[in-house]
Chains A and B, each alone.
Chain A
Amino acid sequence: MSQGQRTDHRRRGRGDSSPHPSRDRVLVLPGEELPSQGLKPGTGTYRVGGKVYSSILGLLSPQPPFVQVIPLSGRYIPKPNDVVIGTVTDCQGTFWLLDIGAPRWAPLHMTGTPWDVEIGETEKFLHVRDSVVVRVENLDPTGRIGVTMLGDGLGKLEGGTIVTVSPARIPRVVGRGGSMVETITRLTGAQVAVGQNGRVWINGSPDAILRASEALRLIEEQGQRRGLTERVESYLVSTSTSTDRGPEAAARESAHRDAPVTRVPPVGPADERPDPEALGPGPDEY
C-alpha cells in the first residue's frame, strides 16, 4: 500500500498550480468502495476481490494508473527531502533522537551536523527539548527515519516558539509560492520557519509571535475555504493598530532580521532578543 506516493500535497504546496483539493475532490471514509475502472490501488486504498476500497479518511484523487486517497488528518508521514522541525528527546553517545511528529523518533547522527562532535559529547551541542531544523534524508521499510542537519537553512533553533498545525495544512500555511508565509512575516515582523511536519517556528516580539500564532490558528481552522490569504491579511492588518505596527513598522522591524524569510527556515544564531522598541504593552504570557 505504498505505491503511488509521488503525488501529494507537499508538491502542491511548493507553488505549482494544481487546484485546491476541496473544490474538485470527494471526501471518502475507510471502507468505502472507490470507482476504479482499470486503476490500481494506490496510497490510502486496498483491494479485495477485484474492488478497491479506501483505507483512510481523505480526498479521492485518481492519478492514473492509480486510484488513491490523500489523507486529511493523521500524523506526519516523512518523505525524503522534507525539511522538518524536530525536538530532541534523547541524547546518546553518537546521535540524538528527535521527535519530528512522525510515527517513530528520528536519529540525528553526529556526523550529520556541521559541528565537530566527539563520541559521548553529544550533550555539549544539543540537549533534550532543544529544537532543530533538519532534512529527512532516507527512509527504510522498517520505518526508520534518517535525518541530517547538513544543508542550507538547517540547524539549531534559538529562541522563539513552536506552534503545531496539522501536517495536512502545511501547503496552506506556506501558500502558493510561499505567499502565506510572506504575508505573515510582512505584517507581523516575526521570523517564521515552516516544517513539513506541521511545526512552525516563530520568533520576534511577543506581540508578533502572538499575532502570527493566531494567524496560524486561523489557517488551521479555515484551511479548506477560499480567500484564506485575504482573510489572514485582514486579520493581521486589523490587529496591527493597537501596537503601532502597520506595514511600515514591519518594514522597520525587518531591519533586525537576518534575511528575508521565505519557505526555507532561517538558522544559526538568529536574533534571539525581541527588539526592545517593538515590545508593546501587550501581556507577557504568550
Chain B
Amino acid sequence: MGSVGAKDVPVLLSPEGLRIDGRRLDELRPIRIEAGPLHQADGSAYVEWGANKVMAAVYGPREVHPRHLQQNNKAVIQCKYNMAAFSVDERKRPGLDRRSQEISKVIAEAFESVVFAEEFPRTSIDVYIEVLQANAGTRCAGLVAASVALADAGIPMVDLVPAVAVGKISGQIALDLKKEEDNFGEADLPMALVPQSGRLVLLQMEGHMTPDELSKALDLGVEGCKAIYAKMKQALRDRYTVDPLPAEAA
C-alpha cells in the first residue's frame, strides 16, 4: 500500500450505507463455482468471485516429490498459490515471491487440519491454485476453489472449507472487501471455517481493529462462510448429480 494523498482516497461508504459497488456492509460479491473443469487433474475447481478468477487443481495422493519431504505416517499436503502475470493491471512479476509463499503455506496448513492424511502414508497431495484475475480476497477464493477441488478428487476430509475476508472501511466492519476497499480500508481479516466443527483453520489480519470490532468481524465472517459453503456444495452436487434423462434420449 503506497502513500496516497488524502484527496485520492475514494469514498468507501455512502451516507446511505452503500459501498462503492452498491453492496451493503454484510453482502458478499457474486460467486460462481464450477467443480471439475480440468480433466487431467484428479480434482479441480474454478471460482469467479466478484472480479476474482481462480482455478485450482488437485493431484494425488501420489508419490512425493522431492522424496525427502515424504512422511512415514501420513500424506504431506503441498500447496502452490500463484498469481498470473496478467492477473493484476500492473504486471505481476512471475514466480515465487514472499507473499505467494506465505499464502501457499497458510492454505496448506488449513487443509492439513481437515484432510485425513493418515490414510495415505508416504504420499503427497498436491494443490495448485492459479489466480487468473485478482481483485482482493484471492487467498480466500483460492482456498474455496482448492477445497472444492479436493472433494472432487475424492480426498477424505472433515468438511469443505469455505473462506472469506472481513474488513474495516470508513470505520465500519464490512464483509468481503473488494480491491479499493482493501487498498484504502483500515483492516483486512481473511478467515477460513470448518462448518462441521465450527473451527477456524485460517485467520490472518492486516491493519487495526478493536477487540469489539474483531468479534463483530468474526461473527460476520462466519455468516459469510456459511453462505459460501452452500455454494460450494451446490457446485459439487451439480457436477455429480445424474440428470434424469430417460434411456431413449441419446
Contacts and interface: CB of A to CB of B under 8 A. Distances in A.
Given A31-B194, A31-B195, A56-B151, 4 more contacts: A73-B240, A75-B153, A143-B120, A227-B248
B156 to A, nearest CB: 4
A126 interface: no
A250 B101 CA distance: 58
A143 B62 contact: no
B157 interface: yes
24 contacts: A22-B242, A27-B237, A29-B151, A30-B151, A31-B160, A48-B197, A53-B196, A55-B158, A73-B153, A73-B240, A74-B43, A75-B42, A103-B62, A103-B75, A103-B123, A104-B123, A105-B63, A143-B121, A225-B243, A225-B245, A225-B247, A226-B246, A226-B247, A231-B250
- 3 smallest A-B Cβ distances: which pairs? A74-B154, A227-B247, A31-B159
Contacts of A22: 242
B159 A72 contact: no
A11 to B, nearest CB: 19
Contacts of A143: 120-123
Contacts of A2: 119
B199 to A, nearest CB: 12
B196 A56 contact: no
B72 interface: yes
A30 B156 contact: yes
A44 interface: yes
Contacts of A72: 154, 240
A22 B197 CA distance: 30
Nearest to B247: A227
Contacts of A104: 63, 122-123
Interface of A: 1-2, 22, 27, 29-31, 44, 46, 48, 53, 55-58, 71-75, 103-105, 142-143, 224-227, 230-231, 234
A183 to B, nearest CB: 15
Interface in B180-231: 194-197
Contacts of B243: 225
B158 A30 contact: yes
A238 to B, nearest CB: 10
Contact of A27 (B116, B153, B154, B241): B241
B61 interface: yes
A143 B243 CA distance: 37
Contact of A31 (B121, B123, B196, B245): B196
A103 B60 contact: yes
A1 B159 CA distance: 16
B247 A29 contact: no
B159 A30 contact: yes
A48 B195 CA distance: 13
B155 interface: yes
Given A30-B157, A57-B154, A75 B242 contact: no
A71 B120 CA distance: 16
A220 B122 CA distance: 30
